[in-house]
Structure 1
Amino acid sequence: MRIATWNVNSLRSRIDRVEAFLQRHEVDVLAVQETKAREDQLPLMGLQSLGYDVAAVGYNQWNGVAIISRVGIDDVQVGFDEMPGFGVPPVAEARAIGALCGGVRIWSLYVPNGRKVDDPHYAYKLDWLARLRTAAQAWSGEPTALVGDWNIAPLDTDVFDIAQFKNSTHVTEPERAAFNAFLDDGYVDVVRPHLPEPTSYTYWDYYRQRFERNRGMRIDFVLGSPSFASCVTGAFVDRDERDPAQGIGSPSDHAPVVVDLGN
């Protein structure tokens, strides 16, 4: 089975790219983040004609997550237990959806950005991750993949210049500790061992030709439970999908991450 995750930065704007990507790589399950639409606004006819089922959640033009699968979608769960909301009063956001696809529990996750270290969104991010960790501990005994845009660069080599990020979110010790807590619980970063170099990034800002200069970040991950990780036979980042010169229309600022499973 081939599983991928991709922050598409608007599914409506990138649907042609998504359909072409699924066919080119013969992807069985694609977890999508930042769909930026309600469920009734999503362009699903082409995906369905290709044999894919879709489970999605979106409340407005922000956030939004989905799972696109041709190996079944069962036991769909929108959000995880005790998932916090944001604001006063707290409002639920479309940041997590889980489903059983081909015998694997897939969670499409869009972790809060955090904005700035002194911003309430940063505290929300850490709380969101802590609640996710608690929920994920109960899933670790079965084949489970926590996939998506984590908005964390756990290693200094996961950003193009760590000095430029010294006062920024994504690389702070509390964020990295929150990410590493999943590894402490037995989840495995199943992609990193297959990357050709430390600078195999997954995100490049549109600003100042960041992609062309490879001034990116690695913030999109597939964390697998032990039984999931033991089945991984390969993984790669599809940089071509971030290249403005490739594909159909404008690219997302993220590249898809693809993982292959054996028996």
Structure 2
Amino acid sequence: MTIATFNVNGVNGRLPVLLKWLNETTHDVVCLQELKTSDEKFPVGALNDAGYGAIWHGQKSYNGVAILARGRQPLQRRSGLPGDPDDTHSRYIEAEVGGLVIGCIYLPNGNPAPGPKFDYKLSWFQRLTSYAQTLLKYDTVLCGDYNVVPTASDAVVPARWLADAVYFPESRQAYADMLTMGWTDAVRRIHPEKGVYTYWNFSNRHGYDRSSGLRMDHLLISPALSPRLQGAGVDVLVRGWEKPSDHAPAWIELNWPGKSH
């Protein structure tokens, strides 16, 4: 079974890119972030036609997360993180797919930092860490745009990001705390070397600024899934398609019962 995560940067505006990618890759589970659409305008019909069932948690113009499953309907477990009933951002959704618990995350960016947005990022991250503790006992994949560059190896030019919230020590420490709890960074487990990136700045020229590469879209797996991890990668070519997102999809492969292809 393959599980992928993709910050689409506007699901309706990037729908041709999303549908082409889904058709070419046939991942079993796909988590989407930054939908930038209200619930009623989510393109469920087009995704159903592409062979995917879907659940989503939208928000007009901002945020938004979704979980897609090929050939089946994800069973929703939760929408939104616990811990702050006043938080109206659509940043977390959770489903059961084929016996796996799938959590889809769009962690706050936190810029400009320091400031209120960075404080919100750290607060949200703390809520995620607390809730993630309860998911360690399940066969769980927590994936999405974490808006965190964990180490210097996860940036082409680390010095470019020293003043950015995605690279602040507090952000990196919060991510490290997740790993200390028992979560495994699946992509880094398979690819321990430098040179794996999921994000690049838009460029004024055709294409994108390759020197801005970052890895901040992650798939964390619970301890029981660690021995089932068989592969991982990034569909880098998607970043170079016409009218792309600034992110490329990352994915992992698990040796998991009930594989649908």
TM-score by length of 1: 0.91
Query: Where does residue 94 of structure 2 map in the other structure?
Result: 98
CA gap 1:239/1:214 in 2 versus in 1, 3 angstroms: farther
Q: Is the 8 A contact 2:31 2:66 kept in 1?
A: yes
Corresponding position: 1:242 with 2:242: no
Equivalent position to 1:152, from 148, 151, 158: 148
CA distance in structure 2 between the aligned counterparts of 1:160 and 1:116, rounded to whole angstroms? 22
Give the strand-richer structure, 1 or 2: 2
Deviations 1:132-191 (A, max 9, x none): 111010110111111000011010121222222222211111111100111011000011
CA distance in structure 1 between the aligned counterparts of 2:235 and 2:222, rounded to whole angstroms? 23
Query: Where does residue 68 of structure 1 map in the other structure?
Result: 68
Deviations 1:92-136 (A, max 9, x none): 100000000111111110000000222201011001011111101
CA distance in structure 2 between the aligned counterparts of 1:196 and 1:181, rounded to whole angstroms? 19
Equivalent position to 2:172, from 165, 176, 195: 176
* 3-state SS in 2 of match to 1:146: strand
1:51 is displaced (CA, Å) by 2.6
Corresponding position: 1:49 with 2:45: no
Corresponding position: 1:137 with 2:133: yes
* 3-state SS in 2 of match to 1:11: coil
CA distance in structure 2 between the aligned counterparts of 1:162 and 1:26, rounded to whole angstroms? 34
Query: Relative to structure 2, which stretch is displaced further, 161-170 or 184-193?
Result: 161-170
Counterpart mapping for 1:1-263 below 5 A: 1-70=1-70, 71-82=72-83, 84=84, 90-195=86-191, 197-208=193-204, 211-243=208-240, 246=241, 249-263=242-256
CA distance in structure 1 between the aligned counterparts of 2:187 and 2:56, rounded to whole angstroms? 25
Q: Is the 8 A contact 1:72 1:100 kept in 2?
A: no
Deviations 1:231-252 (A, max 9, x none): 1100110110001xx3xx4100
**Which segments of 5 or more consecutive residues in structure 1 lack a partner in the other structure?**
none
CA distance in structure 2 between the aligned counterparts of 1:227 and 1:201, rounded to whole angstroms? 26
CA distance in structure 2 between the aligned counterparts of 1:250 and 1:225, rounded to whole angstroms? 35
CA distance in structure 1 between the aligned counterparts of 2:210 and 2:187, rounded to whole angstroms? 23
**Paired amino acid for 1:254:** H
The total of aligned residue pairs comes to 254
CA distance in structure 1 between the aligned counterparts of 2:74 and 2:192, rounded to whole angstroms? 33
CA distance in structure 1 between the aligned counterparts of 2:163 and 2:47, rounded to whole angstroms? 42
* 3-state SS in 1 of match to 2:213: coil
Q: Is the 8 A contact 1:72 1:102 kept in 2?
A: no
* 3-state SS in 2 of match to 1:154: coil
Q: Is the 8 A contact 2:157 2:211 kept in 1?
A: no
**Which segments of 5 or more consecutive residues in structure 2 lack a partner in the other structure?**
257-261
1:194 is displaced (CA, Å) by 2.5
* 3-state SS in 2 of match to 1:251: coil
Q: What percentage of residue pairs aligned between the two structures are identical?
A: 33
CA distance in structure 2 between the aligned counterparts of 1:161 and 1:131, rounded to whole angstroms? 30
CA distance in structure 2 between the aligned counterparts of 1:224 and 1:196, rounded to whole angstroms? 16
TM-score by length of 2: 0.92
Q: Is the 8 A contact 2:203 2:209 kept in 1?
A: no
1:208 is displaced (CA, Å) by 4.9
**RMSD of aligned Cα (Å):** 1.7
CA distance in structure 2 between the aligned counterparts of 1:214 and 1:196, rounded to whole angstroms? 20
